């Protein structure tokens, strides 16, 4: 296993509440990613980070923010959750460098339901 822990594993919350999901890695990899997986859409990139305090947007970033204050932790925040953000969220890590592309490895996901 790639040494990735996502928390919580399951969460049910109400529309309009803030939600923060955590991804913790023990591999000291530079890159970390947040994806969501929905039926009919597959996996889509929300945000990613290429170092402490260095982040960039993915394909579906609206309504989400991220923070990375330590190499090992990458947080995904839904400032005001909506029902359309009900999904399974996956964190991934990669030991890519600017000179060496490497594949991504995934955690086991967080199931988020927004009622």
Per CB under 8 A, residues contacting other proteins are 4, 31, 33, 40-45, 48, 50, 58-59, 90, 94, 96, 101, 103-109
Contacts 24+ apart (CB under 8 A), 54-57: none
H or E segment and range at residue 70: strand 64-70
Strands 10-13 and 87-94: what pairing? unpaired
CB of 4 to other proteins, least distance (A): 8
CB of 34 to other proteins, least distance (A): 12
Nearer to other proteins, 53 or 101 (CB): 101
> What length does the chain have?
115
64-70, strands of its sheet edge to edge: 4-7, 19-25, 73-78, 64-70
Instruction: Report d(CA 1, CA 40) in Å as an integer.
Output: 28
**Which C-beta is closer to other proteins: that of 78 or that of 92?**
92
Nearer to other proteins, 24 or 106 (CB): 106
CB of 42 to other proteins, least distance (A): 4
For other proteins, the closer of residues 36 and 85 by Cβ is 36
């Amino acid at each position: 296993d790639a040494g990735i822990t996502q928390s919580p594993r399951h969460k049910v919350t109400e529309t309009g509440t803030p939600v923060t999901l955590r991804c913790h890695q023990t591999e000291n990899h530079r890159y970390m990613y947040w994806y969501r997986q929905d039926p009919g859409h597959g996996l889509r990139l929300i945000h990613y980070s290429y170092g402490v305090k260095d982040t960039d947007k993915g394909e579906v970033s609206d309504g989400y923010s991220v923070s990375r204050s330590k190499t090992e932790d990458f947080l995904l925040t839904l400032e005001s959750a909506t029902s359309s953000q009900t999904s399974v969220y996956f964190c991934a890590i990669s030991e890519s460098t600017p000179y060496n592309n490497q594949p991504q490895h995934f955690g086991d996901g967080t199931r988020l339901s927004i009622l």
